Amino acid sequence: MLIGLAIRDVVLIETLDLAIGPGLTALTGETGAGKSIILDALGLATGARADAGLVRRGAAQAQATAIFALSPDHPVWAYLEDKGLGGAPDEDLVLRRQLSADGRSRAFVNDQATSVGVLRDLGAMLMEVHGQHETVGLLDARTHRPLLDAFGGLGGETGACMDAWSAWRAARERAEALREQSQRAAADIEELTLRLGELDRLDPRAGEETALAEERALLGAAEKTLADVAAAREHLGDSLTSRLGQAFRALERARERAAHAGVGQGSPAAQRLADAAAAVDRTLVEAQEALAAVDAAAEAFDFEPDRLETAEERLFALRAMARKLNLPVDDLPAARQRFAQALRESETSHEALAEAEAAASTAREAYLAAARALTAARRAAGDRLAKAVEAELAPLKLEKARFRVAVEPLAEDRAGPAGADRVEFEISTNPGAPFGGLGVIASGGELARFALALKAALAGRADQAQPLMIFDEVDQGVGGAVADAVGLRLRRLAGQAQVLVVTHSPQVAARAGAHWRVVKAGEGEKLRTAVETLSARAREEEIARMLSGAEITEAARAAARALMA
């Protein structure tokens, strides 16, 4: 909802701040008072085309600011987020435009600089303009389909169609992916077979490179190591143990002779002979153990003669295959598994592709069935909408006009989640005249009244947020009962949306909940336009003026009171 409009230096308005409420607001005033300036300023703030002629004479720039209060789920917030202008949904939305006297302009959203195009997009989402010279909103056939769906309450049908479309798209994407995979596999199958055969023959194992490198290093050092061990064995040899044995036996004989000579075992000489014999005996035992350890070490380095050559050939083969595949040696076992899996998939890809294509065909049929059901529902809703609109036409002096909703099929390649239909509202203004789009057939006044009839038929039936609706002299060329019918429908429409109407009709102004009068004051270059918010008493005088002209009579006041009642 538009809650405020601030205007600075626009044409004849120097400074103007308007607070705007819900429901129906009427703008009245004498011809030339400047009612259109209010709409021009609002258009300026919402991205309409503008030229330097809007800048008040003598001013450096014009500025218009429109303030909107929106619900947290209004689509404007998602749009701003997408544009990097995300605002807080619990705050007001402020659109501002500055226009310099040289024709340059600047645009702002919540005081963040942006493009005029963004303001224009926001304006299209926030308001519709229906008037003598332009109609923004209904002329765009892209808005007709969602309006029809909302009128018909087709949420279930549109949701089913969207789900079916998503399922079909997913099935098509899977089939296409498998088709591409199958084509790649067919092209690569010879290469895969060759590489897998090489890997099968090589039979690489995890961690094999490290183990072979260690074995290679060990085998390379084995020959010199064995030579050193052999030298140690030679130095130890049998001669050392033999000499130690002879020394031990000699000491034993010496002990025996000393005993026969009467040397007691407890004597110092006998004790030293015993110590010497024990020491030689220990040395003999340790020498024998050292010899056994050297023999064991020699056995540890006693490899088969071609073991080193075999290890090197294996290591070189693994590394050559890794270079060919541009992989680390440790990744060869995994590559072998991948190649095998790819070959298995290529063998079963035809079956998988056939299944995916069958699933895509089934999903397509399901989508087309959902789209046909949606088409039928749209045509039925279109018939109901046509009857509702035509019921509104006669009271608006459009009794000869006919309205229909054209629901035409789209080619399958143009179908989408919203169905396979092109929806457009069409009218025929005279019996026998062909139907055509709204902008082609209707004149300005007819189009504004027709928009009112359509909006009146849609009011209360659409489940989407209603924008601000502006009707500029929708009562042009009509009066009496027709003007009253216009006012009645505007009032009814204002129960569902915010409506602003520029009018010369007292019947329309009397239906408004709020009333502004646009007046001029001053002379020459000091001429200014002002807007007065009218009280109940002032409204009576203004409506009486509209009824009687320059001289307001008591009869006109009485008629004004009757209209307001």
What's the pLDDT tens digit per position in 337-394?
A: 888 887 777 777 778 888 999 999 999 999 999 999 999 999 999 999 999 999 988 8
Please, what are the domains in the chain?
Answer: 1-132+465-534 (3.40.50.300)
Measured CA to CA, the distance from residue 538 to residue 438 in angstroms comes to: 39
Measured CA to CA, the distance from residue 142 to residue 335 in angstroms comes to: 54
Q: Worst-scoring range by mean pLDDT, 24-38, 132-146, 397-411?
A: 132-146
* Backbone dihedral region for residue 480 (phi beyond 0: left; psi -120 to 50: alpha; all else: beta): left
Q: Worst-scoring range by mean pLDDT, 171-180, 315-324, 520-529?
A: 520-529
Q: Which tokens is 236 given?
A: 């130890």
3-state secondary structure 48-81: CCCCHHHECCCCCEEEEEEEECCCCCCHHHHHHH
Tell me whether residue 329 is exposed, middle or buried, using C-beta atoms within 10 angstroms of its C-beta: 0 to 12, 13 to 18, 19 or more.
Answer: buried
- According to the model, what pLDDT value does residue 119 have? 94
Confidence band, pLDDT 50/70/90 cuts, at residue 137 = low
Residue 305 has pLDDT above 70, yes or no: no
Confidence band, pLDDT 50/70/90 cuts, at residue 117 = very high
Identify which of 411, 408, 407, 406 has the alpha carbon closest to the alpha carbon of residue 428.
Answer: 406
Confidence band, pLDDT 50/70/90 cuts, at residue 62 = very high
Measured CA to CA, the distance from residue 46 to residue 94 in angstroms comes to: 10
- According to the model, what pLDDT value does residue 46 have? 93
| Alpha helices for 394-495 (secondary structure H) | 438-441, 444-458, 480-493
Residue 194 has pLDDT above 90, yes or no: no
Element (H, E) at 100: strand 93-100
Confidence band, pLDDT 50/70/90 cuts, at residue 422 = very high
Identify which of 344, 364, 425, 21 has the alpha carbon closest to the alpha carbon of residue 181.
Answer: 344
For the chain, give the percent of residues with pLDDT over 70: 90
Measured CA to CA, the distance from residue 203 to residue 382 in angstroms comes to: 72
Identify which of 66, 46, 27 has the alpha carbon closest to the alpha carbon of residue 471.
Answer: 27
Residue 231 has pLDDT above 90, yes or no: no
Measured CA to CA, the distance from residue 29 to residue 150 in angstroms comes to: 37
CB 468 within 8 A of CB 1: yes
Mean pLDDT of 509-538: 85
Measured CA to CA, the distance from residue 330 to residue 322 in angstroms comes to: 9
Residues 6+ apart with CB under 8 A from 122: 46, 47, 76, 79, 93, 95, 109
Q: Worst-scoring range by mean pLDDT, 40-49, 406-415, 438-447, 526-535?
A: 438-447
Q: C-alpha angle with apex 394: 388 to 396, nearest 5 degrees?
A: 100
Confidence band, pLDDT 50/70/90 cuts, at residue 199 = confident
Greatest distance between any 2 Cα atoms in the chain: 175
Residues 6+ apart with CB under 8 A from 72: 89, 90
The total number of residues written for the chain in this structure: 565
- According to the model, what pLDDT value does residue 196 have? 81
- According to the model, what pLDDT value does residue 149 have? 92
- Residue 416: DSSP 8-state: B
Identify which of 438, 457, 441, 460 has the alpha carbon closest to the alpha carbon of residue 392.
Answer: 457
Tell me whether residue 345 is exposed, middle or buried, using C-beta atoms within 10 angstroms of its C-beta: 0 to 12, 13 to 18, 19 or more.
Answer: middle
Measured CA to CA, the distance from residue 218 to residue 119 in angstroms comes to: 79
Q: How far is CA 94 from the centre of its chain?
A: 25
Rg of the chain over Cα atoms, rounded to whole angstroms, equals: 50
Measured CA to CA, the distance from residue 62 to residue 56 in angstroms comes to: 7
Q: Write down the mean pLDDT value for the chain.
A: 84
Q: Note the pLDDT tens digit of each residue in 159-186.
A: 999 999 999 999 999 999 888 877 776 6
Residues 6+ apart with CB under 8 A from 36: 472, 502
Residue of higher predicted confidence among 263 and 97: 97
- According to the model, what pLDDT value does residue 250 have? 78
Residues 6+ apart with CB under 8 A from 204: 318, 321, 329, 332, 333, 336
Q: Which tokens is 66 given?
A: 């429109």
Identify which of 360, 505, 366 has the alpha carbon closest to the alpha carbon of residue 27.
Answer: 505
CB 534 within 8 A of CB 515: yes
Residue 69 has pLDDT above 60, yes or no: yes
Confidence band, pLDDT 50/70/90 cuts, at residue 441 = low
Element (H, E) at 217: helix 208-260
- According to the model, what pLDDT value does residue 249 have? 82
- According to the model, what pLDDT value does residue 551 have? 80
Element (H, E) at 520: strand 514-521
Confidence band, pLDDT 50/70/90 cuts, at residue 289 = confident
Q: How far is CA 60 from the centre of its chain?
A: 42
Confidence band, pLDDT 50/70/90 cuts, at residue 116 = very high
Q: Note the pLDDT tens digit of each residue in 75-91.
A: 899 899 888 887 778 88
Q: Which tokens is 275 given?
A: 């110590």
Residue 254 has pLDDT above 80, yes or no: no
Q: Worst-scoring range by mean pLDDT, 238-242, 398-402, 539-543, 545-549?
A: 238-242
Residue 197 has pLDDT above 70, yes or no: yes
CB 148 within 8 A of CB 423: yes
Residue 134 has pLDDT above 70, yes or no: no
Tell me the one-letter amino acid at 534. L
Please provide the DSSP assignment of 378-441 as one string: HHHHHHHHHHHHHHHHGGGT-TT-EEEEEEEEPPGGG-BTTBSEEEEEEEESSTTPPPEEHHHH
- According to the model, what pLDDT value does residue 524 have? 65
- According to the model, what pLDDT value does residue 298 have? 65
